[in-house]
Amino acid sequence: MTSLNANLKTNTLKRNPGLPLDLDWVMSSQANTSAIERRANSLAARRSVKKDHQTGWLLRAISCIDLTTLSGDDTASRVKRLCEKAKQPVSRNLLLALDAPQISTAAVCVYHDMVKTAAQALAGSGIPVAAVSTGFPAGLTPFNLRIAEIEASVTAGANEIDIVISRRHVLTQDWKALYEEMRCFRSACGDAHVKAILATGELGSLRNVARASMVCMMAGADFIKTSTGKESVNATLPVSLVMVRAIRDYYERTGISIGYKPAGGISKAKEALTYLSLIKEELGNRWLEPDLFRFGASSLLNDIERQLEHQTTGAYSANYRHPIA
């Protein structure tokens, strides 16, 4: 079988070099909350992907998952098992039954202490290691330590760095401080791609989300990401709509493609299909590939596997059959 992720494991897109901070552009970013919610509700109400088409979309969703473990009780053995799951997220027998290609997840996401373990376990697979950094999840450790953490994760083998911004810069409308912070993070990442986590559930308004998205892209973020997964409110469709439209605006003005990663709270296959539909309609097919779209999730894989098994057997498997997810 050929790989669904062929030629997508390495980021071949032009890196985002960033732009000088343009406050006029930032302040022009607005958000019509009622219109955004109406559009989001219309997406969630649809269910138009059926049968064989649904299989293809679910396999695409798996290929876009950053398989994640961010627990205080993480161990080397758990991370190694997760890496094996990333390399073979769906059983070969099930793929054969579906007449589907070989597949893997987009990346494995861990804390810094587990970067070396993950990098060794994934060596030769082409699957990148993503490390959460900069005092994740609150982002309130001293600035020099946040920079040092990025550099240490890159040295240990991380190919991608998920940084958290200082929410106070957004809440106080200090866009210059946010820009300068993000530029420093981008520089510390070197060749590693950087995903800027906005923690949207703590930013106060959709307008703040729009403006923070734009500032982070101007400062050189390769991806913008909704959440750490640790907030009380994580990825939502309204927030996602605001962020992907900011990405579209940035692309139309600069020609630079920025990736998007909804994270936290996406655990059902049906939800994944809705997010993929949103991306297809707002940004186009190119953004349905792992170098421009990711799900920050692990339990999502469990439900997708169960849906795929249902398509081949007519019955749902028990959750305990998928404990690694």
CATH number of the domain encompassing residue 226: 3.20.20.70
Torsion-angle region of residue 134: left (phi > 0), alpha (psi -120 to 50) or beta? left
Angstrom CA distances, 298 to 8, 89, 192, 221, stand at 20, 11, 22, 24
Give yes or no: 268 in active site: no
Q: What angle do CA 52, 296, 117 make, to 5 degrees?
A: 110
Residue of 116, 225, 291, 303 with catalytic role: 225
- Note the pLDDT of residue 45: 73
| 23 bridge partner residues | none
Q: Encode pLDDT of 141-165 as tens digits.
A: 999 999 999 999 999 999 999 999 9
Q: Is the peptide bond before 137 cis (omega within 30 degrees of 0)?
A: yes
140 lies in a domain?
yes
47 lies in a domain?
yes
- Note the pLDDT of residue 205: 97
* Cβ pair 192, 229 in contact under 8 A: no
Neighbouring residues of 97: CB distance < 8 A, sequence distance ≥ 6: 312
Q: What is the C-alpha to C-alpha distance for residues 18 and 166, in angstroms, rounded to an integer?
A: 19
Give yes or no: 87 in active site: no
Domain span at residue 54 reads 23-317
323 lies in a domain?
no
pTM of the model: 0.92
Give yes or no: 176 in active site: no
How many CB atoms are closer than 10 A to CB 102?
A: 15
2 lies in a domain?
no
256 lies in a domain?
yes
Residue of 9, 85, 116, 261 with catalytic role: 261
Q: Encode pLDDT of 18-44 as tens digits.
A: 999 999 999 999 999 999 999 999 887
217 lies in a domain?
yes
Task: Burial-class residue 51 by CB neighbours within 10 Å (0-12, 13-18, 19+).
Answer: exposed
Looking at the structure of the chain, the number of domains it has is: 1
141 lies in a domain?
yes
Q: Encode pLDDT of 230-262 as tens digits.
A: 998 999 999 999 999 999 999 999 999 999 999
Residue of 162, 222, 291, 303 with catalytic role: 162
9 lies in a domain?
no
Instruction: Name residues of the chain where pLDDT drops below 50.
Output: 1-11, 325
